[in-house]
Structure 1
Amino acid sequence: MAHLQAVGTALQPQHNAYTQLSTYFDPHSQVAWGYMHAAPRPCFTPTLLRELLAWGNGMVGMIDDPAQLDVKYFVLASKVPDTFSLGGDLSLFMQHIEARDRDALYRYAVACIDCSYAVHSHLNRPNVTSIALVQGQALGGGFESALAANVLIAERGAKMGLPEILFNLFPGMGAMTFLGRRVGHHQAEKIIRSGKLYLAEELYAMGVVDVLAEPGEGEGAVYDHIRREEKSRNGILALRAAREVSQPAPYDELIRITEIWVDAALRLEPRDLRMMERLVSRQTGKTETAAAAGPSKAFGA
């Protein structure tokens, strides 16, 4: 965590029992950091989803306990070099689809929605701001989880996209809801239908990314943003509350869309599943290559 220490923080490790999430708290700025590192691929495994929800519940406990410091900001980031998140657990998708297990696929999808909604709703606490820090690739559900945040910060050169259309599906865990509220639903659908990867610079120009950071300086950009927000925090939080009234993203909407996704997933044909399998193989290869290269500069290399 050398890069974070360089910006003047004194991070305290939090829950030690997590296996796919490393959490820290900065008591000075009242910022909670969550760094994902799922295995065997940096995607949303059931274990990571459980740990993200437990982290959220732990932060709520801190906020609601008068004896503890409040959490004013929480940041979702990644500990995996060059990768924020590869999205949904495609191997698990294929397993449930081939078994025709709609209930299991639906439970997984709802767990993803629960995590994204906790981020989007800033833990249902009005004085908390959620931030996503994208360093490297954010694909599919990884991009959706970043879009769910109140503030999306990305480093130049980071790539984000929704490739689901390539295997005859669509991103069903929040893309239409969160992306549509950032750029309009017509533009959101164009992005989804393209299946393209977009540079952070392109998405910043579209209004998808809120803050563009230089490569390797994402954590510093988070603190720069927090310092700016603190100067007008009352007005900014009030403006956000007004936007949530005029452009709500209700939980029920997310659930109804993910039900459409589950039914569409169960209609995939063998050729679609083969494409999904090829994507899993490519993701696994990239992960192994990154692991062999060692940790990124942001983590003390």
Structure 2
Amino acid sequence: MAAAAALGGLGLGLLRARLRLAAAAAATSAALCRTGHRTPPLRGGVAAAAALPSAGRSYGSQAKEEEELRVRYLDDEHKGIVVLGLNRSHAKNALSKNLVKMISKAVDALKSDKKVRTVVFRSEVPGIFCAGADLKERAKMHSSEVSSFVSRARATINELANLPVPTIAAIDGTALGGGLELALACDIRVAASSAKMGLVETKLAIIPGAGGTQRLPRTIGVSLAKELIFSARIVDGEEAKSIGLISHVVEQNEAGDAAYRRALALAREFLPQGPVAMRVAKLAINQGMEVDLVTGLAIEEACYAQTIPTKDRIEGLLAFKEKRPPRYKGE
């Protein structure tokens, strides 16, 4: 009887594992279809490496200015990098209904643009990244409007997190509440040592509503995230680096854009890599972190399979053989 029960338990375990794998494969296939790639049979392997670009100092760009959000497509050696700049100086870049709408519109356009290789999120206002929600606007809202706004803000931040290309937050000033939640939605965060960061706008608003209670623990650990949220503590760039909240900390310069310049340098390191490989690598990491290792490996296998039939993979192998920089086209 005990043996039969054990066998039954083993069979149930295998069935559950198969169901997890099937669900993971289906989710990965759906996500890959959204990026415009078909899902061939699962295979394994490692993508070809690409050469690094030459150094350069040009920051020239063709700017498209919006009232509260600037969207810039950089050129020359920074071609492929898009900068989203918060530009609401009179309100310390606080997230109003209009600004959230504009961010959502910009992100929606970027996610289907195959020429975009990396997105840098920054502030155009010296000394501030984002002060969080616009509490003056919120005070005039009906309670039903507040719920709707927070849902819209959360959805917009999720859209930013789900962009298929790498995203970098350049934090050159204070990032509070929704401002830090915006930064947490980016893949990588760079901050000036003087920058101040915390998940609350005021000590009366201790419950982040746009994903902070979920993304912060996944970034710095559950216990420390609880401590920061419960205490409403604000940390500077140095402490943020020590607890893993940011990846890089830099001394602020006279122009007040040291984090932005470091973010640009980091983004340039991504440019020579295969666009398709970069997209599926991000997808594999994001989905894999939410499941067990076996399912995560199946997701990785499905994602790698997307690179096999692409022209980019063939170009990467050819460039490696000919000892030259690859000329990727994102296909």
Q: Deviations over 1:23-59 (max 9, x none)?
A: 2111333111111122641200111111111211232
| 1:221 correspondence with 2:262 | yes
Judged with a 3 Å threshold, the aligned counterparts in structure 2 of structure 1 residues 242 and 191 are, in CA distance, closer, same or farther, namely same
- What letter is aligned with 1:52? I
Aligned to 2:18: none
Alignment match of 2:189 (pick from 149, 152, 158):
152
Matched, 1:57 2:99: no
- Runs of 4+ in structure 1 off by over 4 angstroms are 230-239
Distance 1:114 1:73, change over 3 A: same
**Distance of aligned partners of 1:165 and 1:37 in 2 relative to their CA distance in 1, 3 Å threshold:** closer
CA distance in 1, matches of 2:129, 2:222: 25
Instruction: Give the corresponding residue for 1:272.
Output: none
- Per-residue CA shift, 1:207-264, capped at 9, x if unaligned? 1101212213222211221233456668776654333123349xxxxxxxxxxxxxxx
How many angstroms apart in 2 are the aligned matches of 1:168 and 1:129? Answer: 31
Deviates more, 1:146-155 or 1:229-238: 229-238
Question: Is the partner of 2:264 in helix, strand or coil?
Answer: helix
CA contact (8 A) 1:13 1:24 kept: yes
Which residue matches 2:130?
A: 85
- Match for residue 115 of structure 1 among 135, 156, 167: 156
1:22 aligns with 2:56: no
* 2:113 alignment partner, SS class: helix
Q: Does structure 1 retain, via aligned residues, the 8 Å contact 2:160–2:185?
A: yes
Q: 1:151 to 1:90 in 2, by over 3 A?
A: same
Q: Deviations over 1:94-152 (max 9, x none)?
A: 223xxxx3321111102211221122112xx2xx1111110110011111111110111
Instruction: Name the structure 2 match of 1:293.
Output: none
Measure the CA separation in 1 of the matches of 2:181 and 2:161.
Answer: 11
TM-score by length of 2: 0.63
Report the Cα distance in structure 2 between the residues aligned to 1:177 and 1:111, rounded to whole angstroms: 17
1:231/1:174 CA distance change after superposition, 3 Å: same
Task: Give the letter for the 1:148 counterpart.
Answer: A
Equivalent of 2:175, from 123, 138, 146? 138
Residues in 2 aligned to 1:203 and 1:245: alpha-carbon distance in whole angstroms: 25
- Kindly provide the CA deviation profile for residues 136-193 of structure 1, in whole angstroms up to 9, marking residues without a partner as x: 1001111111111011111111110123571153111111121111112222111111
1:246 alignment partner in structure 2: 288
- Provide the identity percentage: 21
Query: Post-superposition shift, 1:77?
Result: 0.8
Instruction: Identify the residue that residue 230 of structure 2 maps to in structure 1.
Output: 193
| Letter of the 1:191 counterpart | L
| CA deviation string 1:53-105 (max 9, x = no partner) | 12112323533xxxxxx111111111111000100111233223xxxx33211
Distance 2:105 2:263 in 1: 23
**d(CA) in 2 for partners of 1:120, 1:165:** 25
Unaligned runs of at least 5 residues, structure 2: 1-55, 292-331
User: d(CA) in 2 for partners of 1:193 and 1:229?
Assistant: 37
Distance 1:150 1:195 in 2: 24
Check conservation: 1:164, 1:170, Cα contact below 8 A: no
TM-score (norm 1): 0.69
Instruction: Give the length in aligned residue pairs.
Output: 228
Q: Distance in 1 between matches of 2:124 and 2:250?
A: 17
* Structure 1: runs of 5 or more not aligned: 1-5, 64-69, 250-301
**Equivalences for residues 261-300 of structure 1 within 5 A:** none
Backbone CA RMSD of aligned residues: 2.4
> What is the correspondence of 1:168-187 to structure 2 with a 5 Å cutoff?
169-187=206-224
Greater helix share, 1 or 2? 1
CA contact under 8 A between 1:24 and 1:34: conserved in structure 2?
yes
Select the structure of larger CA radius of gyration: 2
Which amino acid in 2 is paired with 1:54?
A: K
Change (3 A) 1:193 1:73: same
